[in-house]
Amino acid sequence: MEKEDLIGDIRSRFPAVEGYAETLGDQTLVVRREGLVALMTGLRGAPYDYAVLLDLTCVDFLASEGRLEMVYHVFSLSRNRRLRVKVSLPGDDPVVDSLTGLWKNADWLEREVFDMFGVGFTGHPDLRRILMYEGFEGYPLRKSYPWRREQPLLPMKD
Amino acid sequence: MSGLGFLATRFDAALGWARKFSLFHYPFITACCGMEYMSTACAHFDIDRFGAGLTRFSPRQADLLLVVGTVSHKLAPVMKTVYDQMLEPRWVIAFGVCAVSGGIYQNYAAVQGIDRIIPVDIYIPGCPPRPEMVLDGLMKLQDKIQSQPQDWRWKKKT
Protein backbone atom coordinates (compact mmCIF):
# COMPACT_ATOMS: atom_id res chain seq x y z
CA MET A 1 0.00 0.00 0.00
CA GLU A 2 1.40 3.40 -0.90
CA LYS A 3 1.78 6.14 1.63
CA GLU A 4 -1.25 8.19 0.61
CA ASP A 5 -3.46 5.15 0.16
CA LEU A 6 -2.45 3.92 3.58
CA ILE A 7 -3.44 7.11 5.32
CA GLY A 8 -6.67 7.37 3.31
CA ASP A 9 -7.48 3.80 4.20
CA ILE A 10 -6.83 4.37 7.89
CA ARG A 11 -8.91 7.52 7.88
CA SER A 12 -11.84 5.84 6.21
CA ARG A 13 -11.78 2.96 8.67
CA PHE A 14 -11.29 5.05 11.79
CA PRO A 15 -13.49 8.15 11.79
CA ALA A 16 -12.03 9.22 15.14
CA VAL A 17 -8.93 10.33 13.22
CA GLU A 18 -9.47 14.01 12.82
CA GLY A 19 -6.25 15.22 11.27
CA TYR A 20 -3.19 14.28 9.29
CA ALA A 21 0.12 16.01 8.72
CA GLU A 22 3.37 15.08 7.06
CA THR A 23 6.61 16.75 8.05
CA LEU A 24 9.98 15.75 6.59
CA GLY A 25 8.55 12.40 5.57
CA ASP A 26 7.10 11.64 8.98
CA GLN A 27 3.41 10.87 9.00
CA THR A 28 1.33 12.09 11.87
CA LEU A 29 -2.25 11.24 12.69
CA VAL A 30 -4.29 13.25 15.16
CA VAL A 31 -7.01 11.25 16.84
CA ARG A 32 -9.74 12.01 19.36
CA ARG A 33 -9.04 10.32 22.65
CA GLU A 34 -12.17 8.15 22.61
CA GLY A 35 -10.91 6.45 19.47
CA LEU A 36 -7.28 5.96 20.50
CA VAL A 37 -7.38 2.34 21.59
CA ALA A 38 -9.51 1.29 18.63
CA LEU A 39 -7.11 3.02 16.24
CA MET A 40 -4.02 1.53 17.87
CA THR A 41 -5.56 -1.93 17.88
CA GLY A 42 -6.25 -1.55 14.19
CA LEU A 43 -2.79 -0.23 13.40
CA ARG A 44 -1.12 -3.03 15.33
CA GLY A 45 -2.71 -5.84 13.32
CA ALA A 46 -3.03 -6.65 9.62
CA PRO A 47 -2.94 -5.02 7.15
CA TYR A 48 -1.02 -2.08 8.66
CA ASP A 49 1.20 -4.16 10.93
CA TYR A 50 2.60 -1.38 13.12
CA ALA A 51 3.70 -4.03 15.59
CA VAL A 52 6.19 -2.03 17.68
CA LEU A 53 5.44 0.78 20.06
CA LEU A 54 8.69 2.74 19.83
CA ASP A 55 7.91 5.49 22.26
CA LEU A 56 5.11 7.19 24.09
CA THR A 57 5.47 10.59 25.59
CA CYS A 58 3.67 13.82 26.30
CA VAL A 59 4.03 17.49 25.45
CA ASP A 60 2.75 20.29 27.63
CA PHE A 61 1.39 23.12 25.52
CA LEU A 62 0.52 25.06 28.65
CA ALA A 63 -1.83 22.73 30.46
CA SER A 64 -3.07 25.70 32.43
CA GLU A 65 -4.61 26.90 29.18
CA GLY A 66 -6.04 23.50 28.47
CA ARG A 67 -3.65 21.55 26.33
CA LEU A 68 -1.61 18.47 26.95
CA GLU A 69 -0.75 16.28 24.02
CA MET A 70 0.10 12.60 24.06
CA VAL A 71 2.45 11.43 21.31
CA TYR A 72 2.78 7.80 20.29
CA HIS A 73 5.37 6.45 17.86
CA VAL A 74 4.69 3.10 16.23
CA PHE A 75 6.86 1.18 13.81
CA SER A 76 6.15 -1.54 11.30
CA LEU A 77 8.91 -4.12 11.05
CA SER A 78 7.50 -5.76 7.94
CA ARG A 79 7.10 -2.49 6.01
CA ASN A 80 9.91 -0.51 7.66
CA ARG A 81 7.57 2.38 8.20
CA ARG A 82 6.88 4.69 11.09
CA LEU A 83 3.76 6.52 12.19
CA ARG A 84 3.14 9.14 14.82
CA VAL A 85 -0.21 9.38 16.57
CA LYS A 86 -1.19 12.40 18.63
CA VAL A 87 -4.01 12.81 21.11
CA SER A 88 -4.93 16.17 22.53
CA LEU A 89 -6.03 16.17 26.16
CA PRO A 90 -7.77 18.90 28.11
CA GLY A 91 -5.59 20.32 30.88
CA ASP A 92 -8.28 20.01 33.54
CA ASP A 93 -8.98 16.36 32.76
CA PRO A 94 -5.78 14.76 31.44
CA VAL A 95 -6.92 11.15 31.22
CA VAL A 96 -6.53 8.73 28.34
CA ASP A 97 -7.01 5.00 27.90
CA SER A 98 -3.97 2.85 28.60
CA LEU A 99 -2.26 0.91 25.82
CA THR A 100 -0.86 -1.72 28.17
CA GLY A 101 -3.34 -4.21 26.77
CA LEU A 102 -1.73 -3.87 23.35
CA TRP A 103 1.94 -3.38 24.16
CA LYS A 104 3.62 -4.44 27.38
CA ASN A 105 6.28 -1.75 27.10
CA ALA A 106 3.55 0.85 27.37
CA ASP A 107 3.47 0.03 31.09
CA TRP A 108 6.64 1.86 32.12
CA LEU A 109 6.31 4.51 29.43
CA GLU A 110 2.89 5.45 30.71
CA ARG A 111 4.18 5.43 34.26
CA GLU A 112 6.86 7.91 33.19
CA VAL A 113 4.27 10.18 31.57
CA PHE A 114 2.13 9.91 34.68
CA ASP A 115 5.14 10.78 36.83
CA MET A 116 6.33 13.73 34.77
CA PHE A 117 3.05 15.17 33.42
CA GLY A 118 0.30 13.82 35.63
CA VAL A 119 -1.62 12.18 32.84
CA GLY A 120 -3.93 9.44 34.07
CA PHE A 121 -4.22 6.17 32.17
CA THR A 122 -7.43 4.24 32.62
CA GLY A 123 -6.84 0.51 32.64
CA HIS A 124 -3.18 0.73 33.62
CA PRO A 125 -2.29 -2.16 35.97
CA ASP A 126 0.14 -0.29 38.25
CA LEU A 127 0.02 3.45 37.80
CA ARG A 128 2.56 5.00 40.20
CA ARG A 129 5.67 7.12 39.96
CA ILE A 130 8.65 5.56 38.25
CA LEU A 131 11.44 8.18 38.19
CA MET A 132 10.64 10.38 41.16
CA TYR A 133 10.30 9.07 44.67
CA GLU A 134 7.12 8.44 46.59
CA GLY A 135 6.01 11.60 48.30
CA PHE A 136 7.16 13.90 45.51
CA GLU A 137 4.59 16.60 44.92
CA GLY A 138 3.57 17.88 41.53
CA TYR A 139 4.58 16.94 38.02
CA PRO A 140 8.03 18.31 37.19
CA LEU A 141 7.80 18.47 33.39
CA ARG A 142 4.63 20.53 33.40
CA LYS A 143 5.29 24.10 32.35
CA SER A 144 3.57 25.23 35.52
CA TYR A 145 6.19 23.51 37.74
CA PRO A 146 8.62 26.16 39.08
CA TRP A 147 12.04 25.31 37.76
CA ARG A 148 13.83 26.11 40.99
CA ARG A 149 11.31 24.56 43.31
CA GLU A 150 12.94 22.44 45.98
CA GLN A 151 10.98 19.76 47.76
CA PRO A 152 11.67 18.91 51.38
CA LEU A 153 13.90 15.92 52.07
CA LEU A 154 11.91 12.98 53.34
CA PRO A 155 13.07 10.70 56.13
CA MET A 156 14.63 7.39 55.11
CA LYS A 157 12.30 4.45 54.80
CA ASP A 158 13.26 0.98 56.00
CA MET B 1 51.68 18.63 81.69
CA SER B 2 51.39 15.14 83.08
CA GLY B 3 53.33 12.28 81.60
CA LEU B 4 50.18 10.45 80.67
CA GLY B 5 48.84 13.43 78.73
CA PHE B 6 52.10 13.73 76.83
CA LEU B 7 51.92 10.08 75.84
CA ALA B 8 48.30 10.42 74.66
CA THR B 9 49.18 13.33 72.43
CA ARG B 10 52.05 11.45 70.88
CA PHE B 11 49.81 8.47 70.26
CA ASP B 12 47.24 10.71 68.59
CA ALA B 13 49.88 12.04 66.26
CA ALA B 14 51.12 8.55 65.42
CA LEU B 15 47.58 7.34 64.84
CA GLY B 16 46.79 10.32 62.64
CA TRP B 17 49.94 9.68 60.63
CA ALA B 18 48.94 6.04 60.16
CA ARG B 19 45.40 6.90 59.23
CA LYS B 20 46.16 9.60 56.72
CA PHE B 21 48.43 7.30 54.72
CA SER B 22 46.08 4.31 54.67
CA LEU B 23 42.86 5.72 53.27
CA PHE B 24 40.86 2.86 51.83
CA HIS B 25 38.36 4.61 49.66
CA TYR B 26 34.97 3.64 48.35
CA PRO B 27 34.21 5.30 45.01
CA PHE B 28 30.52 6.22 44.77
CA ILE B 29 30.62 7.24 41.13
CA THR B 30 27.53 8.39 39.29
CA ALA B 31 28.62 10.70 36.50
CA CYS B 32 31.34 12.09 34.23
CA CYS B 33 33.58 13.06 37.16
CA GLY B 34 34.32 9.35 37.27
CA MET B 35 36.66 9.86 34.33
CA GLU B 36 38.73 12.29 36.37
CA TYR B 37 38.59 9.91 39.29
CA MET B 38 39.96 7.13 37.08
CA SER B 39 42.64 9.44 35.77
CA THR B 40 43.59 10.38 39.32
CA ALA B 41 43.55 6.81 40.54
CA CYS B 42 45.60 5.33 37.70
CA ALA B 43 49.31 5.47 37.00
CA HIS B 44 49.68 9.03 35.64
CA PHE B 45 48.57 10.81 38.78
CA ASP B 46 48.52 7.80 41.06
CA ILE B 47 46.76 8.37 44.37
CA ASP B 48 48.69 5.37 45.67
CA ARG B 49 51.55 7.81 46.27
CA PHE B 50 49.37 9.28 49.01
CA GLY B 51 48.44 5.94 50.48
CA ALA B 52 44.92 6.11 49.09
CA GLY B 53 45.40 3.60 46.31
CA LEU B 54 43.49 0.73 47.77
CA THR B 55 39.97 0.91 46.42
CA ARG B 56 37.45 -1.10 48.37
CA PHE B 57 34.17 -1.99 46.78
CA SER B 58 32.49 -2.60 50.08
CA PRO B 59 31.72 0.40 52.27
CA ARG B 60 32.31 -1.79 55.32
CA GLN B 61 35.99 -1.94 54.51
CA ALA B 62 36.39 1.71 53.53
CA ASP B 63 37.49 4.82 55.43
CA LEU B 64 36.91 7.40 52.75
CA LEU B 65 33.73 7.85 50.77
CA LEU B 66 34.30 9.59 47.45
CA VAL B 67 31.00 10.88 46.14
CA VAL B 68 31.83 11.49 42.51
CA GLY B 69 29.12 13.09 40.41
CA THR B 70 25.49 14.07 40.54
CA VAL B 71 23.30 12.51 43.18
CA SER B 72 19.62 12.50 42.35
CA HIS B 73 16.86 12.41 44.92
CA LYS B 74 16.12 8.85 43.95
CA LEU B 75 19.74 7.87 44.61
CA ALA B 76 20.08 9.78 47.88
CA PRO B 77 18.84 6.92 50.13
CA VAL B 78 21.39 4.62 48.50
CA MET B 79 24.22 7.01 49.28
CA LYS B 80 22.98 7.43 52.84
CA THR B 81 22.89 3.65 53.25
CA VAL B 82 26.44 3.35 51.93
CA TYR B 83 27.59 6.04 54.34
CA ASP B 84 25.80 4.41 57.26
CA GLN B 85 27.55 1.13 56.55
CA MET B 86 31.00 2.64 56.85
CA LEU B 87 32.86 2.18 60.11
CA GLU B 88 34.31 5.01 62.18
CA PRO B 89 36.60 6.76 61.60
CA ARG B 90 35.27 7.77 58.22
CA TRP B 91 35.66 10.73 55.94
CA VAL B 92 33.72 12.01 52.95
CA ILE B 93 34.94 13.91 49.91
CA ALA B 94 32.44 15.66 47.65
CA PHE B 95 34.11 15.34 44.26
CA GLY B 96 32.95 17.72 41.54
CA VAL B 97 30.59 20.62 41.65
CA CYS B 98 27.46 18.46 41.37
CA ALA B 99 28.26 16.66 44.59
CA VAL B 100 29.30 19.94 46.20
CA SER B 101 26.24 22.02 45.39
CA GLY B 102 24.16 20.42 42.67
CA GLY B 103 26.14 22.30 40.04
CA ILE B 104 24.36 22.97 36.79
CA TYR B 105 21.55 20.67 37.80
CA GLN B 106 19.41 23.12 39.70
CA ASN B 107 16.22 21.23 39.07
CA TYR B 108 13.66 18.89 40.52
CA ALA B 109 15.80 15.77 40.21
CA ALA B 110 19.20 16.57 41.70
CA VAL B 111 20.17 16.89 45.35
CA GLN B 112 21.58 20.39 45.81
CA GLY B 113 24.79 19.25 47.45
CA ILE B 114 25.37 15.97 49.27
CA ASP B 115 25.93 17.81 52.55
CA ARG B 116 22.16 17.95 52.79
CA ILE B 117 22.26 14.20 53.36
CA ILE B 118 25.64 13.28 54.86
CA PRO B 119 28.45 15.31 56.46
CA VAL B 120 31.30 16.25 54.12
CA ASP B 121 34.95 16.80 55.03
CA ILE B 122 36.48 18.11 51.81
CA TYR B 123 34.75 19.82 48.90
CA ILE B 124 36.49 19.62 45.52
CA PRO B 125 34.69 21.88 43.05
CA GLY B 126 35.20 21.83 39.30
CA CYS B 127 33.24 20.47 36.39
CA PRO B 128 35.01 18.12 36.46
CA PRO B 129 37.96 18.91 38.74
CA ARG B 130 41.40 18.25 37.28
CA PRO B 131 43.40 15.44 38.89
CA GLU B 132 45.74 18.04 40.41
CA MET B 133 42.78 19.52 42.26
CA VAL B 134 41.76 16.11 43.46
CA LEU B 135 45.25 15.43 44.76
CA ASP B 136 45.22 18.83 46.42
CA GLY B 137 41.92 17.96 48.08
CA LEU B 138 43.30 14.62 49.15
CA MET B 139 46.34 16.27 50.73
CA LYS B 140 44.07 18.73 52.51
CA LEU B 141 42.11 15.80 53.87
CA GLN B 142 45.36 14.25 55.06
CA ASP B 143 46.23 17.47 56.87
CA LYS B 144 42.79 17.44 58.42
CA ILE B 145 43.13 13.83 59.55
CA GLN B 146 46.57 14.52 61.00
CA SER B 147 45.42 17.56 62.93
CA GLN B 148 42.10 16.28 64.23
CA PRO B 149 41.80 14.49 67.57
CA GLN B 150 41.86 10.79 66.90
CA ASP B 151 39.16 8.48 68.10
CA TRP B 152 40.43 5.09 69.14
CA ARG B 153 39.24 2.13 71.04
CA TRP B 154 40.70 2.71 74.50
CA LYS B 155 40.41 6.43 74.38
CA LYS B 156 38.66 7.95 77.36
CA LYS B 157 35.36 9.26 76.08
CA THR B 158 34.49 12.71 77.29
Average pLDDT estimate for A6-13 = 86
Does residue B113 sit within a domain?
yes
What's the pLDDT at A66? 67
* Mean pLDDT (chain A, rounded): 87
List the CATH code of the domain at A3-96: 3.30.460.80
Read off the pLDDT band of A79 (50, 70, 90).
Answer: confident
- The confidence score (pLDDT) of residue A135 equals 84
* Model pLDDT, residue B156: 66
Better pLDDT: B6 or A140: A140
Residue A124 binned pLDDT confidence (cut-offs 50, 70, 90) = very high
ipTM: 0.72
Asked if A132 and B109 come within 8 Å (Cβ–Cβ), the reply is yes
- Laid out side by side, the sheet with A68-76 consists of A17-23, A26-31, A81-89, A68-76, A52-60
Judged by CB atoms closer than 8 Å, whether chains meet at A148 and B106 is answered as yes
Domain holding B114, by residue range, is 25-147
Q: Are A121 and A97 in contact (CB under 8 A)?
A: yes
Put the strands of the sheet holding B91-95 in their side by side order: B25-29, B64-68, B91-95, B122-124
Selecting from B77, B81, B107 the residue whose C-beta is nearest the C-beta of A147 gives B107
Contact state of A149 with B116 under an 8 Å Cβ cutoff: no
Q: State the DSSP string of chain B.
A: --HHHHHHHHHHHHHHHHHHT---EEEEE-STHHHHHHHHHSTTT-GGGGT---B-SSGGG-SEEEEES--BTTTHHHHHHHHHHSPSS-EEEEESHHHHH-TT--SSSB-S-GGGTS--SEEE-SSSPPHHHHHHHHHHHHHHHHHSPPP-TTPPP-
Predicted pLDDT at A36 = 92
Residue B75 distance to chain A (closest CA, Å): 10
Smallest CA–CA distance from A155 into chain B, residue: B77
Amino acid B53: pLDDT: 85
**B54 lies in a domain?**
yes
Mean pLDDT of all residues in A85-89: 91
* pLDDT value, residue A158: 67
Condensed to tens digits (0 to 9), the pLDDT of residues A22-56 reads 888 889 999 998 989 999 999 998 888 899 999 99
Q: So what's the pLDDT on residue B4? A: 61
- pLDDT tens per residue across all 158 residues of chain B: 555 655 555 678 888 899 999 999 999 999 999 999 999 999 899 999 998 888 889 999 999 999 999 999 889 999 999 999 998 889 999 999 999 998 898 888 899 999 999 999 999 999 999 999 999 999 999 999 998 888 776 666 66
**Is B154 a member of any domain?**
no
Which positions in chain A touch B117 (Cβ < 8 Å)? 153
- Cα–Cα distance, A92 to B153 (Å, whole number): 63
Interior/surface letters A26-46, b for 16+ CB within 10 angstroms, e for the rest: ebbbbbebebbbebbebbbee
* B5 assigned to some structural domain: no
Alpha carbons A16 and A36: distance in angstroms, whole number: 8
The model's pTM: 0.80
The CATH number linked to B41 is: 3.40.50.12280
Q: How confident is the model at residue A4 (pLDDT cuts 50, 70, 90)?
A: low
Report the distance separating Cα B53 and Cα B58, nearest Å.
15
Query: Are the CB atoms for B68 and B82 separated by under 8 Å?
Result: no
More confident call, A66 vs A108? A108
Q: Do A156 and B117 touch (CB under 8 A)?
A: no
Q: How many domains does chain B have?
A: 1
Segment A133-152 shows an average pLDDT of 86
A to B CB pairs, distance under 8 Å? 28
The answer to whether position B59 is within a domain reads: yes
